[in-house]
Chains A and B, each alone.
Chain A
Amino acid sequence: EIVLTQSPGTLSLSPGERATLSCRASQSVSSSYLAWYQQKPGQAPRLLIYGASSRATGIPDRFSGSGSGTDFTLTISRLEPEDFAVYYCQQYGSSAYTFGQGTKLEIK
């Protein structure tokens, strides 16, 4: 099973700043099979990025994804107040899905 490790666990930033979230896989992941989600308290997750770098429908262009192999990154170029949430990466492989443990993005 591929294990995804996200870092940092918590990221404290101010609105307007740039956020860089990391997702590292225990073995190589096809870029096609790497996604990112945002989850706010009491809500279901929302798909942000699929295929490592493609934005889902309706996602603002301040969100971008990059990476390949075992290292992937979610970047939020300029934080808006509504971006403070928990972010998860997810991969698909061998007929199973795994999620990272999450990065909490909090207001500094």
Chain B
Amino acid sequence: EVQLVESGGGLVKPGGSLRLSCAASGFTFSSYSMNWVRQAPGKGLEWVSSISSSSSYIYYADSVKGRFTISRDNAKNSLYLQMNSLRAEDTAVYYCARAVDAICFDYWGQGTLVTVSS
């Protein structure tokens, strides 16, 4: 069974940093591109970042470019999101999602809440 479990969310002050993790199991993690997608409270879905299976290709939404860094450790079946210079508008539930053929997201984690507030 495919499982994606996020962790690392919490309350952080504006300008602060946070590192999210996603532990994957039930599939060959090293064969899939992985993504972070977020959802602000009561709002829609926003894609944040993508990383290819071997980390060769990395992409970011303009809203986080230069502040967030996506990475992965295939040996540990883990995906990460380093978030720096956090802003109030980064407050959201952050989902880890597996991409199928890099086109859409077939499995999602349960999400981890990040709250940026003073």
Does A90 sit at the interface, judged by CB under 8 A?
A: yes
Complex Cα–Cα for A33 and B104 (A): 7
B61 and A47 contact, CB distance less than 8 A? no
Q: Please give, as numbers and ranges, the residues of chain B lying within 8 Å of A45 by CB-CB distance.
A: 45, 95, 105, 108
B45 and A96 contact, CB distance less than 8 A? no
Does B102 sit at the interface, judged by CB under 8 A?
A: yes
B: number of interface residues (CB 8 Å):
21
B104 and A50 contact, CB distance less than 8 A? yes
Does B59 sit at the interface, judged by CB under 8 A?
A: yes
Give 25 CB contacts A-B under 8 Å: A39-B45, A45-B45, A45-B95, A45-B105, A45-B108, A47-B104, A47-B105, A50-B100, A50-B106, A51-B103, A57-B106, A88-B44, A90-B104, A92-B102, A95-B50, A96-B47, A96-B61, A97-B35, A97-B47, A97-B50, A99-B45, A99-B46, A100-B44, A101-B44, A102-B45
Point out residues on B near A: beta carbons under 8 Å: 35, 37, 44-47, 50, 57, 59, 61, 95, 100, 102-106, 108-111
